[in-house]
């Protein structure tokens, strides 16, 4: 168990990736596509100057722009991002996170504090990792 907790007892702050890479609305979609590929991350949170989450750009958003014939070097995150994405707080239970991921057919969930500032990201992968660590103890790469 991670810190003596089973998956059912865990919350977002146990599962989330801390210090997520985030960008502002004026960054090019080309830059975001590069980050998605280099980091093997399916989404990039978009924040304002105060660190508050204002949107998210997913692989799907980038692919949709390409399918519409847009040049990723000529459009910015603010033009293609999903505004007001589904979020969770640090104290959201793992059970609720699973429900949100499943019912919304989501892969990524930004974690925000009470002021709306981005504090972490949770991917389906992180929930599975939490489950395995609750059963096996800390995992060390390569697993």
pLDDT for the residue numbered 19: 86
How far is residue 11 CA from its own chain's centroid?
15
pLDDT at 126 over 80: yes
pLDDT at 2 over 50: no
- Number of structural domains the chain divides into: 1
pTM of this structure: 0.87
Predicted confidence band of residue 135 (pLDDT cuts 50, 70, 90): confident
pLDDT in tens, 14-69: 999 998 899 999 999 999 999 999 988 889 999 999 999 999 999 999 999 999 99
Does any domain span residue 126? yes
Q: How are beta strands 43-47 and 108-112 bridged, if at all?
A: unpaired
User: Where in the sequence is the domain holding 90, given as residue range(s)?
Assistant: 7-136
Does any domain span residue 141? no
* Number of C-beta neighbours around residue 119 at 10 A: 19
Does any domain span residue 113? yes
CATH number at residue 110: 3.10.580.10
């Amino acid at each position: 168990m991670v810190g003596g907790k089973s998956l059912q007892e865990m919350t977002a702050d146990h599962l989330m990736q801390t210090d997520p890479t985030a960008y502002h609305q004026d960054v090019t979609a080309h830059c975001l596509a590069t980050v998605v590929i280099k980091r093997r991350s399916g989404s990039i949170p978009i924040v304002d100057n105060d660190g508050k989450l204002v949107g998210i750009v997913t692989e799907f958003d980038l692919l949709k722009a390409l399918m519409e014939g847009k040049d990723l070097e000529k459009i910015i995150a603010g033009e293609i991002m999903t505004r007001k994405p589904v979020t969770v707080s640090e104290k959201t239970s793992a059970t609720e996170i699973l429900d949100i991921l499943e019912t919304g057919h989501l892969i990524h969930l930004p974690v925000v504090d009470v002021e709306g500032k981005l504090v972490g990201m949770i991917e389906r992968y992180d929930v599975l990792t939490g489950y395995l660590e609750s059963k096996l103890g800390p995992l060390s790469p390569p697993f």
